[in-house]
Structure 1
Amino acid sequence: MDDIFTRVAHGRTADEVVQQVESLILDGVLRVGDRLPGERELSRQLDISRPILREALKTLEQRGLLTSRHGGGTFIADVIGEIFSQPVMELIARHRRATFDYLEYRREVEGITAAFAAQRATQADRELLAGIVQAMKQAHDAADPDREAELDVEFHSAIGEAAHNIILLHTLRSCYRLLSNGVFYNRAAIYQYSGSSERLLEQHIAIFDAIVAGDADGAKGAAERHMEFVAHTLREAERANDWARVANLRLQQRAKGGHSDDSKRKTATKRA
């Protein structure tokens, strides 16, 4: 956090501070929940007076970009928002076919995003992605599906940042929030499905390798194939769950019926 703010070199006005913080939020450098340095430290980094800083922070808070917690500091507000209203999200959750429309949409968007990332990723972007991929390998080796699912979102978010397109970045973050909230499906369940964890890791590595190599077409294709696999695996997992549910119901019903038949046979034997 200490290195992202730059000295206000000219008029040292509150407007210049507001513009700098807004740009850091827009570019995804400052994210929801990030805490700003204390007033004294931040005024030092910006090289402005504390009254000017207070004026800037007040403006940012009025615009809904910052939130203050009494005695706890100043934080980036929840600026992502929801792409759907609560009633629509609940409607989607009740009608499973929306899940596959979501995955179809993501197939296209993820492909474009990966292609941009391959063309535009900086060394810092590549280092960030490399660290996430390494963490993915560790989670896979540890057989930790919850951690794998968490890193999955982190990986795709980092690709969105590496694409260096502000609209894509914030659109994807909103989409991933729905995913994290479990509106569409349980991400960990995908990793727990037979053999999928290994395949998903391989696919993420393929996307990463293409981005690092600057291969836009390769990155796009790898991302699209990855999303197709996710959709296919989700269908298979849901079908397997349905089979298990129906089989269990049959078993329970047969057990009840078998008990009834036994009773009937015993009654008939006694009468004979």
Structure 2
Amino acid sequence: MASDIFSKVEHGRTADEVVQQVESLILDGVLRVGDRLPGERELARRFDVSRPILREALKTLEQRGLLTSRHGGGTFIADVIGEIFSQPVMDLIARHRRATYDYLEYRHEVEGITAAFAAERATKADKDLLQGIVESMREAHAQEDFDREAALDVEFHSAIGEAAHNIILLHTLRSCYRLLSNGVFFNRALIYQYSGSRDRLLEQHIAIFEAIAASNPDMAKRAAENHMEFVARTLKQAERANDWVRVANLRLQQRGQKGGGKKQKTE
């Protein structure tokens, strides 16, 4: 963890000031779920506060559900993303396929707005981070590492959410991506295995990045929307193709049972 994300407390050196600083780092997406905080001695040094004041601040943050302690293992940022829906609603969504396309329709609009904001607001550091992710995507693509590509896909869109510098968009998108990662809406392997889709997806991600790097909001919005339209269209095609395979196999099985696997005589 970078040593400069924490600032010395200048006024009064109270627990409240430490709490406010950590809360801001979580809200802005600097500290993310699962990040481990430095040890108590080191953290007190960075904030320039006494260890009793730091302990009071950490206790407050833990009571607010922002930190979690593991016995003998340190202090971590708690799961502040959570789930958008309750478990019964998520199970209901998973059983009804039309929810998937409503989800993609929602993301079509939100991703477009987010990319446009990112093109307007991204700093050099934001663009450097995105460029690094894109380079990792190229490597995973060349190595045909599907799992790595899927993880980087989420990381890429999350980084765009950060570059948009809108905390509501940031945390809303993170919740959406968690549902996607958990496979609530669809299995991304369907899209990755569809002929030519991996190449197209990489090209689309690069197009979004280049538009943001060029600070072109209109181009970034169009690139993000085109990407989501492709995902929705390809998912439908892949699901239809899988259904064709399923039905064809059932026909073969049924006719094989009737004819003992031999060709039927025609009248």
Matched position secondary structure for 2:69 = strand
Superposed CA offset, 1:179-202 (max 9, x none)? 000000112321111110000000
Superposed CA offset, 1:69-121 (max 9, x none)? 00000000000011111001000100011000000000000000000000000
Q: Distance in 2 between matches of 1:132 and 1:186?
A: 22
State the one-letter code of the partner of 2:92. Answer: L
Matched position secondary structure for 1:75 = strand
Q: Distance in 2 between matches of 1:212 and 1:55?
A: 43
Partner of 2:66: 65
Partner of 1:38: 39
Does the 8 Å contact 1:111/1:224 carry over to 2?
yes
Q: Does residue 80 of structure 1 match 2:81?
A: yes
Does the 8 Å contact 2:108/2:229 carry over to 1?
yes
Does the 8 Å contact 2:190/2:239 carry over to 1?
no
Q: How has the CA–CA distance of structure 1 residues 222 and 260 changed in structure 2, closer, same or farther, with 3 Å as cutoff?
A: closer
Q: How has the CA–CA distance of structure 1 residues 39 and 249 changed in structure 2, closer, same or farther, with 3 Å as cutoff?
A: same
Q: Distance in 2 between matches of 1:166 and 1:205?
A: 24
Q: Which structure has the highest helix share of the two? A: 1
State the one-letter code of the partner of 1:253. Answer: Q
Partner of 1:270: none
Superposed CA offset, 1:201-255 (max 9, x none)? 0000000000000000000000000000000000000000000000111111111
Larger radius of gyration: 1
State the one-letter code of the partner of 2:220. Answer: A
Does the 8 Å contact 1:18/1:56 carry over to 2?
yes
**Identity rate, percent:** 81
Matched position secondary structure for 2:68 = strand
Partner of 2:55: 54
Partner of 1:182: 183
Matched position secondary structure for 2:260 = helix
Matched position secondary structure for 1:8 = coil
Gaps of 5+ in 2: none
Matched position secondary structure for 2:12 = coil
Structure 1 residues 227-236 or 184-193, which shifts more? 184-193
* TM-score of the two chains, using structure 2 as the length reference: 0.97
Partner of 1:131: 132
State the one-letter code of the partner of 2:125. Answer: A
Moved over 3 A (4+): none
When the two chains are superposed, the root-mean-square deviation of aligned CA atoms in Å is 1.3
Partner of 1:210: 211
Q: Distance in 2 between matches of 1:107 and 1:164?
A: 19
Does the 8 Å contact 1:148/1:188 carry over to 2?
no
Q: Distance in 2 between matches of 1:260 and 1:11?
A: 86
Q: Distance in 2 between matches of 1:253 and 1:188?
A: 29
Q: How has the CA–CA distance of structure 1 residues 111 and 260 changed in structure 2, closer, same or farther, with 3 Å as cutoff?
A: closer
Gaps of 5+ in 1: 266-272
Matched position secondary structure for 1:7 = coil
* TM-score of the two chains, using structure 1 as the length reference: 0.95
